[in-house]
Structure 1
């Protein structure tokens, strides 16, 4: 009888751990999709190896927050072409 109690406790502990692990993964999943680095990389490809200025980084952070129009206009102010700005802001929000 004592062995079955121990087994039941272990099963309960494993199930609790799995619930917490998968529940935590579900809560963090949307944030994991937003990608500032992908946005910056998209712009740096247009710059052909040049490092993106701080204004580009700031615009990409705005894009991660979901403000696509502000992201695009911020990149345009940094002399990024419209097509690249739209693509970069799109990957920032994904």
Structure 2
């Protein structure tokens, strides 16, 4: 395929992918919120570090999510439960 013919195909694929992300974003936000709420309910203020750890949990890395939360002082059991809720499993 010529490079000039590939460009429209790549742009069309990118537009479809970004459209799908836009449709999934409200659900993702709610899942991150559940994670943050659990942390806050158990005595830790929601900071950028908490938000980042919850995001890492959302994308499926539960170990890094829990590790990030415990690194900032969240109790291990609270961190595990919050990260379990991040991808919407809770």
Write out aligned runs for 1:1-94 (5 A): 32=27, 35-47=31-43, 51-94=45-88
* TM-score when normalising by structure 1: 0.61
Q: Matched residue of 1:62: which SS?
A: helix
Runs of 5+ in structure 1 lacking a partner?
1-27
Runs of 5+ in structure 2 lacking a partner?
1-22
* TM-score when normalising by structure 2: 0.64
- Once superposed, which parts of structure 1, at least 4 consecutive aligned residues long, lie more than 2 Å away? 31-34
C-alpha RMSD of matched pairs (Å): 2.4
